[in-house]
Amino acid sequence: MPLPYGIVTPGKEACLSRWPRLGLPDRLDGKSVLDVGAWDGFFSFEAERRGASRVLATDHFSWSGDGWGTKQGFELARRALDSRVEERDVDVLDLSESTTGRFDIVLFLNVLYHLPNPLLGLERVATVTKELLVLETFVDLLDVPVPAAAYFPGGRMWGFETTWWAPNLAALEAMLADVGFHHVEVKSRVSTRSRAAWAMWNEAKHGIPYERGMQQDWVVIHARKAS
Ligand SMILES: C[S@@+](CC[C@H](N)C(=O)[O-])C[C@H]1O[C@@H](n2cnc3c(N)ncnc32)[C@H](O)[C@@H]1O
């Protein structure tokens, strides 16, 4: 995460390079933005930097719940950036108009697959979305021609923790429609080359057949309600 004085925090991934994947305009002037599962808050601070009129970062699992993280990174970045990003400790399943209000743009990035009850999570997210939901998540079973989802018992997908479900694109689209998002567009997918590298790594490390790994992808979806 870039901070003032040329400091860039040595994180696990280069979040800045993920921004173009989201398919958002460069500027978000005048938009209110909710970042659900913000953790260290990179995307909250980036939305603020790009002109959003109001940004609320929410999390619970990694901030004060059973999660793997803490809130220290978020707090440090907020101070260092002299940011006005608001924060609220609220679980995905407790999102509602009365707990957070509604926002023009809702970022729901890499959280859905962590939820044991993804449809319920999407339903809660729909209640706080006014205009656009930006959903980034894992998909699986891409060759299955009907809506279907892979379930990972105990939330353990091949060595990853708290990864419960990966629907295919048809299921994701149907779930989004069922919670009120009728305009759904896939904005980004991973290149075949990167997916192949992922499948080879999972075969070598976890014994998952290559063909099975190639059934997965990591997508960004824009979902809008009927106007
Ligand atoms: C992989 S991180 C993604 C962080 C950030 N949104 C991003 O895309 O870089 C997953 C986030 O989901 C949050 N989360 C919410 N509910 C969760 C749950 N039941 N299990 C795991 N993570 C959960 C975590 O606290 C964490 O901040």
Distance 67 CA to ligand 1 centre (A): 8
How many DSSP H helices and E strands does the chain contain? Answer: 7, 9
The pLDDT value given to residue 221: 98
How far apart are the C-alpha atoms of 20 and 220, rounded to whole Å? 10
Give the single-character DSSP code of 128.
T
Q: Determine whether the shortest distance from the Cβ of 59 to ligand 1 is under 6 A.
A: yes
Distance of CA 214 to the CA centre of its chain: 21
Instruction: Share the mean pLDDT of the chain.
Output: 95
| Of 216 and 159, the one with more pLDDT | 216
Examine the pLDDT at 5 and tell me if it is beyond 90: yes
Ligand 1 neighbourhood includes 208 CB (under 6 angstroms): no
List for the chain the helix, strand, coil content (%; round to 5).
35, 25, 40
Half-sphere exposure for 29 (CA within 13 Å, toward CB)? 1
Count Cα atoms within 13 angstroms, Cβ side, for 89.
10
The reported pLDDT for the residue numbered 102 is: 98
Where residue 14 falls among pLDDT bands split at 50, 70, 90? confident
Instruction: Answer whether 61 contacts ligand 1 (Cβ < 6 A).
Output: yes
What pTM was estimated for this model as a whole? 0.96
**Closest residue by CA, ligand 1 atom 5:** 38
Assigned token pair, 102 = 């509604």
State pLDDT tens for residues 192-217.
999 999 999 999 999 999 999 999 99
Q: What is the 38 CA–ligand 1 centroid distance (Å)?
A: 7
Please give, one letter per residue, the 3-state secondary structure of 189-202: CCCHHHHHHHHHHH
Give me the pLDDT at residue 65, please: 87
Give the model's pLDDT for residue 227.
62
**Confidence class for position 36, pLDDT limits 50, 70, 90:** very high
Coil, strand or helix at 92: helix
Mean pLDDT of all residues in 159-180? 95
CB of residue 163 inside a 6 A radius of ligand 1:
no
**Is the shortest distance between the CB of 62 and ligand 1 below 6 Å?**
yes
Question: What are the strands, taking DSSP E only, across 85-140?
Answer: 86-89, 103-109, 129-139
pLDDT confidence of residue 125: 98
109 lines ligand 1 (CB under 6 A): yes
Q: In what order do the strands lie in the sheet with 32-36?
A: 86-89, 54-59, 32-36, 103-109, 129-139, 217-225, 181-188
CB of 110 closer than 6 A to ligand 1? yes
Q: Which atom of ligand 1 is nearest to the CA of 121?
A: 16
- pLDDT for 11 equals 84
